[in-house]
Chains A and B, each alone.
Chain A
Amino acid sequence: MPHDHDHEHTEPPSDIALRVKALETLLIDKGLVDPSALDEIIETYEHKVGPRNGAHVVARAWSDPKFKKQLMEDATAAVDSLGYSGRQGEHLQVVENTSALHNVVVCTLCSCYPWTVLGLPPAWYKSAPYRSRVVSEPRSVLAEFGTELAEEMSIRVWDSTSEMRYLVLPMRPEGTEDWTEEQLQQLVTRNSMIGVELAKSPNNLDATVEGKD
């Protein structure tokens, strides 16, 4: 394949799927990876750790003021008390949305993301358009997600350059005063905990459930 610039990478089979397959075979043949460890890693992040963990944290914070206080003071410990801890969640901080301030999270340099509560990041979170624009034009980025904020609402963008991991605590939707924690969890989307959307309103939830049926 012709290239007009210097680069360091090698040129094994051009198709990335073949190159990854070749690398896996090589590492197993050399005894550098244990296939059952690979299975464990995939199983953990494809099926066990995901945004339902974060939804549990948020719904608990909405319904239990003591837990919320602990969460705002020491999110790592509070989240650990619900059984969620580990890689890419060693140092958590929760940032709270209010009627005057909206928070949104990015990693402009790579893809830092709170795995323990949200799982692996979606493709758009890791993409150049999101990483480049959300710090400089957050309102237009939020609008692209269908989130139109009032002009007087302040926006705070968190660029996670360190090992601190940020989780947005969305505002509890109106009309949910008598909802249980389990019911509230259904309103908490992954995108609302990144901060590009608001939590679902009870009306939207009904529509979604009917749509699925």
Chain B
Amino acid sequence: MHGGHDLGGKQGLGPINPEPESEEPVFHSDWERRVFALTIATGMLGKWNIDQSRYARERQHPIDYLKHSYYENWYEGVSKLLIENGLVSKEELLGESTAQPASPDIRVPSQDDAKKILTSGGPTLMQLDIEPKFNIGEKIRVVKSYTYGHTRAPAYVQGCIGEIAIQHGGHVFPDSNARGQLAGEHLYAVCFSSRELWGTEHDNSEVFIDLWEPYLVAV
């Protein structure tokens, strides 16, 4: 979706003002620490995947998305996922009703489980029966897409011509994964010149971006 999160090439958002590396804490306040852990821990319940989690954060009014701090958007995302998946009711979240015990069918990870899950991660590589459609060096165009669904084809590359730089193999396709449908598609790193993306001359820069095969057509 063309939401507030799709930021590549947007202007007027101000300077970066980075904190000095040696002075920056991992979390800037305790609630950030807590919402981070709650998001990771509830993700381990297996009721949603990473793309559904990203999509939950994206589905906000762009003004809200941009006005919120990073972890406020995590709060928005996790509370939405908990309600949409029936784990928590709106009334419970608002404190308007007493907390009901969760279904006994839900397996809640222990400390050891959490440790194992963090260490093993969640690989997205998938063996595909079909060969990749595009070869290294081949020119492609990114198709225009107007969807309210989740996609990882940013607006700034749509319609632009690039060159296949790396074949990453088959990976989980986020657009369908966000709908709860697991499917694999070939993934590529595609190179775009800054001239193609922005019309800038003499800039001597390029963008490499990972794009799945359904986003691309040969030119």
Contact = CB atoms under 8 A, between A and B. Distances in A.
- The reply to whether chain A is a binding partner of chain B is yes
Contacts of B171: 91, 162-163
Contact of A108 (B8, B18, B24): B8
Contacts of B206: 154-157
A44 B115 CA distance: 8
B108 A89 contact: no
Nearest to A41: B37
Query: In the complex, which range does the number of interface residues on chain B fall in?
Result: 35 or more
Is the contact region of chain A dominated by helix, strand, or loop, or is it mixed?
Answer: mixed
Among A24, A151, A152, find the residue whose CB has the most chain B CB atoms closer than 10 A.
A24
A162 B168 contact: yes
Given A41-B114, A123-B19, A33 B38 contact: yes
B139 interface: no
Contacts of B94: 10-12
A180 interface: no
A85 interface: yes
A181 interface: no
Contacts of A90: 121-125
Contacts of B194: 136
Given A23-B75, A152-B204, A161 B210 contact: yes
Nearest to A76: B123
A68 interface: no
A17 B123 contact: no
A66 interface: no
B133 interface: no
Contacts of A44: 115, 118
B44 to A, nearest CB: 8
Contact of B26 (A46, A131, A156): A46
B205 A155 contact: yes
A190 B21 contact: yes
Interface in B25-61: 26-31, 33-38, 40-42, 44-45, 50, 54, 57, 59-61
Contacts of B75: 16, 19-20, 23
Given A6-B61, A9-B80, A37-B109, A159 B118 contact: no
Given A5-B61, A108-B154, 20 more contacts: A5-B63, A12-B93, A20-B35, A27-B88, A32-B88, A40-B118, A41-B40, A108-B6, A127-B70, A128-B14, A132-B10, A135-B156, A136-B156, A138-B205, A154-B205, A154-B206, A156-B205, A157-B208, A159-B154, A162-B187
**Top 8 nearest A-B pairs by Cβ distance?**
A108-B8, A162-B210, A36-B111, A37-B114, A155-B205, A124-B18, A132-B10, A159-B209
